[in-house]
Structure formats: structure tokens, C-alpha cells
Structure 1
Amino acid sequence: MIFFKKKEIPLIDFFPEGFVDIHSHLLPGIDDGAKNLNDSIELITKMRSYGIKNFITTPHVLGNVYPNSSETIKNKLEEVKKELLKRNINDISIRAAAEYMMDEQFSERLEKEDILTLKDNYILVEMSYFNAPINLYELLFEIQLKGYKPVLAHPERYNFYHNDYENYYKLKKHGCLFQLNLLSLTEQYGKGVQQISKKLLKENIYDFVGTDTHHHNHLALLNKVGTKKNLEKINHLLDNNKKFI
């Protein structure tokens, strides 16, 4: 019996020209992503070898765990930009937004309009992996009332929705855009997450994609995503990300 390997595509050919990674943790030492400046540059350089040259990196803003201010994020971004130029890496475009946990502190930031957007009025938001906020739909309403568009990071990773699937439709109905984590197409986060991501893809519920890169292990695993079958499934999403250029 002959076994055929999945038709693999080098990532340099997988990501289209103009693709923007809208979810990553590449700023040094401010969350659970890049540990220091050298780590930041190494991660960016590796992603550049995959053909990703446009980044909107999104450090966590999470209560007292990662209480990053807009100023802290902007300062770290400048450090990275200067180091890239110092190393003669001139073909990278990197900006910074944030991945906002929808909690009480986020509500306060929203009230003050102290928000770093992906571009224009798009905000990257997330929820706890244990449960949704009690006031989730009020928060989504407030976000849109302020003129922003909520982009929910990795909806497939919220396990509490896996057996309550109708909530995905409800979130979409309430104006939520969905961002797929590319590694959810692998078993990185578990088979359950992988299956839900496939189902959401099949139903064309996603709007954008992101790598959600934290460290080199994520980038090594990203190679598994580079198959012809996956490209056929998400090619339209990769193109959608170009709007953030």
C-alpha cells in the first residue's frame, strides 16, 4: 500500500504578498511572548523567512497580570524598530496594537478611549478560557457604541462554547468579527479546538487569521499548517488580512 504525504507548501509560498499578521506577542518582556529584545528580533527574522513582513503585534493587556499601558506598548515598539534598523533589517513593517482581555479594566479603558487599534476602528479582544464575561454582550455593545469593531481572538479556543455552538452565531449577530489562530489547524491546542476550527471554517464564519506567535516552538509548529488543503480553506482569510496593510 502506498501512503501519500499531505502536499506541503513552503511557508514562503503560503503567505501572500502583503499579508499582515494581526496577532502576535513580539514586544520584549511585557507579556508571555518575546523574553527580551534579542528574542523579539529572532522571532521577527524567522517569520520574515516565512514570507511574513508586515506585523501588527498585540501584547496582552490583562488586569494586574499584564497591566500594559498604551505608552508602555508604544515605547517597546520603538525599541524593536530601532533594533531592526540597527541590524539593517529594512523590509519589515511593524506596528503595535493590543490583545485586550474583556474585563473591568478594559471597560475603563474603553470609557477613556485609551485603546490601541489594529487599524482604523478594529480592536483585538479576548475572553478568559474558563468562561465568558457575564456582561459580554453589553461590552460588545459598548465597543460598537464607541465606534469600534471587535475582533475576537481565537474563538475556537473557548472550550465552553464547543458544546454550546449557537453562541458563535450569537456573537456574529452582535457584530463580533472572528480571528482564527493558524495553529488551531494543528493539534497544538487539542483535537477539540482543531475540530471546531474546521467547523467554523466550513461555515465561513471567520474573518481574519493570526499566528498568535509567542515563541520559537510556535514558529516551528507553523510549518505544519503549510499544506495545499489548508491553503484552499483559508486563502480568502489570508487575503482579508491585507486590509490592515
Structure 2
Amino acid sequence: MLRFFSKKLFLKDLLEDFVDIHNHILPGIDDGATNIEDSLRLIEGMKGLGIKQFIPTPHVMQDTYPNTDDSIGDAYQRLLGALDSKLLNSITLNPAAEYMLDSNFESLLESRNLFTLKRDYVLIEMSYYQAPINLESIIFKIKTKGYLPVLAHPERYSFYHNNLNYYKRLKQLGCFFQLNMLSLSAYYGKPVEKTANYLIDKQLVDFIGSDIHHERHVDKISNLILSNKKVNENIGKIIKNTNRTFSVI
């Protein structure tokens, strides 16, 4: 039984059978796993936390990680080929992508050539320095093309930390919000943790993901303690909603 009000609750206590919708475990195509061995260690580490379903989401950034369906598919097939049958039969892997809102994304959107999380949910991100000047029109286009935009780690965009009401505006425009697990701690800095707690408290967060890139992230998640009772309850609800929306089992 989950004990939300116990004195010490680890995040891993809530992750049994979790669907991780945001991670960088595909080998050698972005700033996540550098090779097959890294990928296997990340999978084993997360499986040790109870996670059995993975949606790998490599970056698609025109100037840095110009991934395509082919490069993502190739990395996925290489990873599948490296999994032993016991591990392969105990997990699911269904690749998608994390799209930077750049001009390349708009071209892909026009051609409806997006690698979605499931059905029409598409994971998007912005620069940490500033939002696109046409952000609202991009979101509108995503919706009119029949996709459901899931904004990755909204709590990490510092340009909104002093304009918290704009998060509500993004929700009104039809954005779903995906929180990073490590934002529940000061891993990315206290302002990010504070903003994460605000979004949770206002019930603006729809989904949660690990966004793991390396083994240090797995270790941090494994040792992450949830101490706020209200946050604990809300995180439990967000985890359940993530599983309900994206599980393929």
C-alpha cells in the first residue's frame, strides 16, 4: 500500500509499473546514452525502480541533433538487438521524440511527420533562454494539425518564473505539462523546484517523466525523498494519469 503520509516517502515507492514518457536512453543520437552499454545500464537502473514501459524521446533539434525517423529507428533497432530475451520480455520500448520548437519542427508539422508519444500526443520543448516569439501561433498550429502538445519540463523555463500566470495561459491554449522527476528536488536549482511545486499545487501538471540522460539521474531519482504531504498526493495522481494515458499494456 502507498503511504503518502509516512515520514519518509521515496519517489521510487510510487514508480511500480510506471510508464516513462520522457528519457534519452537510445544510444548515440543525442546528449543521452552514448552507446549501447550506456543504454542497457539506464534501462536496468530504471527497471530496478519498477519502471517497465519506456518511451525513448531523443532530441530533434535542427542545429544540434538533427534526428529523423531513420536515425531514431536505427538507434531503436540497435538497442532492441542488444537486449537479451529475458530483459526484452520484461519491458516495452516504443520510441518517440522530443521536438525543439524551431523552423525544422514547423516543417515537420506542416507535413504531419511527427514521432508521437502515443496517438496524437507530441512532446515539445523550448530553448532555456527564451520562448519562440511565435509560441502561441505554433501551439495553435499543432492543435489544428490534430496533435496534442505536451510541453516538456515547463518548470525549467526560467523566463516564466517571474510570470507564473503565463503557465495558465499556456494551459488555456491547450498545452499539456510534463514535469521532470528531478524538479521535485533542487537538482536543477531552487527556482525550478519552487516553480515545480507551484505548478503541482495549482494542478497544472498533467504528466511526469524521468528525462534521464545518464546514470547519475537514475541515482538521484532513486534517492529522491518526497517530504511535502500535499505534493505527495498530487504526484501520485500525476503518475496514475501518466500511466493511464500512455500505457500500452
Same fold, judged at TM 0.5 (above)? yes
- Percent identity at matched positions? 46
In structure 1, what residue type is equivalent to 2:152?
A: A
Residue number in structure 2 paired with 1:217? 216
Cα RMSD (Å): 1.6
* Distance in structure 2 (CA, Å) of the matches to 1:52 and 1:76: 21
Shift of 1:63: 1.2
> What are the ranges of 5 or more consecutive residues in structure 1 without an aligned counterpart?
none
In structure 2, the residue matched to 1:244 is 246
Shift in alpha-carbon separation, 1:28–1:53, aligned structure 2, 3 A = same
Deviation at 1:80, TM superposition (A): 1.1
Deviation at 1:238, TM superposition (A): 0.4
Amino acid at match of 1:236: K
Shift in Å, 1:232:
2.1
The offset of 1:90, in angstroms, is 2.0
Q: Provide the residue aligned with 2:92 in structure 1.
A: 93
Question: 1:74 Cα deviation (Å)?
Answer: 1.3
Q: TM-score, normalised by structure 1?
A: 0.93
Question: Residue type of the partner of 1:244?
Answer: F
In 2: Cα distance, 1:54 partner to 1:34 partner = 17
Q: Distance in 1 between matches of 2:62 and 2:7?
A: 42
Q: Matched residues in 2 for 1:51 and 1:76: separation? A: 24
**Mapped pair 1:62 → 2:61:** yes
Task: Give unmatched runs, 5+ long, in structure 2.
Answer: 1-5
Which residue identity does 1:20 align to in structure 2?
V
Alpha-carbon distance in 2 for matches of 1:156, 1:224: 21
Partner of 2:232: 231
Q: Residue type matched to 2:235 in 1? A: I
C-alpha contact (below 8 Å) 1:23/1:212 kept by paired residues: yes
TM-score, normalization: structure 2?
Answer: 0.92
Distance in 2 (CA, whole Å) between partners of 1:174 and 1:90 is 40
Query: 3-state SS of the aligned residue for 1:128?
Result: coil
Shift of 1:87: 6.6
> Which residue is 2:32 aligned to?
33
State how far apart, in whole Å, the 2-side matches of 1:88 and 1:134 are. 45
Once the two structures are superposed, the pairs formed by residues 117-128 of structure 1 within 5 Å of their partners are 117-128=116-127
Distance 1:125 1:46 in 2: 26
Mapped to 2, the partners of 1:200 and 1:110 lie a distance apart of: 28
Aligned residues: 239
Question: How far, CA to CA, are the matches of 2:74 and 2:237 in structure 1?
Answer: 34
1:184 aligns with 183
- Aligned-partner Cα distance in 1 for 2:140–2:88: 42
Please tell me the residue identity of whatever aligns with 1:137: E
Distance (Å, rounded) in 1 between the aligned partners of 2:54 and 2:194: 28
Q: Deviations over 1:78-135 (max 9, x none)?
A: 1111211357542010111000000101000111111000000000000000000011
Q: Deviations over 1:15-54 (max 9, x none)?
A: 143x210000000010000010111011000100000010
What CA deviation, in whole Å up to 9, does each residue of 1:162-201 have, x standing for no partner?
0011210110010000000010011111000000100110
Contact residue 14 and residue 231 of structure 1 kept, 8 A: no
Q: Work out whether 1:74 is the aligned partner of 2:82.
A: no
Q: Which residue of 2 aligns with 1:14?
A: 14
1:224: how far off? 3.5
